[in-house]
Amino acid sequence: METSNSPRPKPEPVKGAAHILAAIKYSVDGMRRLWKETACKHILIAFPIGVGVLVVGEASVTEFCVFVALVLLLVAFEALNTAIECIVDYLAPQWQEFARDAKDLGSLATMCMLITNGIFFVLFHSAKFSNIVKYS
């Protein structure tokens, strides 16, 4: 009798058009997993706030597109960081220096994307502010 701790058999590879549907399902499953992370919830709360700032600041279509791309990259970095943490937690249930280093590096990558998003908003605001000052 199988226990819940026994590994599941590896699924057969999916090919053809079914591969696209399988890939979408895997991505949705990944988003469900990522949603359990507080950082993901913070990103998804910040997104409409950022959209609001851009609307109030009368952002161009290009600025909206850059913002959406930066947020998607941030989500991707957070997903990779979470994947690293899952693997490290499995490989090193006790504290290990390599585990700390791997988690710190994943965190650094995410922080770099947060800074990039921040730079975008600083540049956006400074450009809008300089236009207001110019026309006053």
Q: For residue range 12-42, what is the model confidence (pLDDT) as tens digits?
A: 888 888 899 999 999 999 999 999 999 999 9
DSSP assigned state of 58: T
Is 103 part of any domain?
Answer: yes
What CATH number is attached to the domain comprising 108? 1.10.287.3610
**pLDDT at position 1:** 45
d(CA 75, CA 78): 5
**Angle ∠(75,80,82) on CA atoms, nearest 5:** 90
SS3 of residue 32 by DSSP: helix
Number of domains the chain is built from: 1
**pLDDT at position 87:** 96
DSSP assigned state of 94: S
d(CA 85, CA 89): 6
Domain span at residue 46 reads 38-126
Catalytic entry in 2, 12, 63, 78: 78
Could you tell me what percent of the chain has a pLDDT over 90? Answer: 71
97 is catalytic: no
Is 48 part of any domain?
Answer: yes
**pLDDT at position 13:** 86
Of residues 100 and 134, the one with the higher pLDDT is 100
Is 98 part of any domain?
Answer: yes
pTM of the model: 0.81
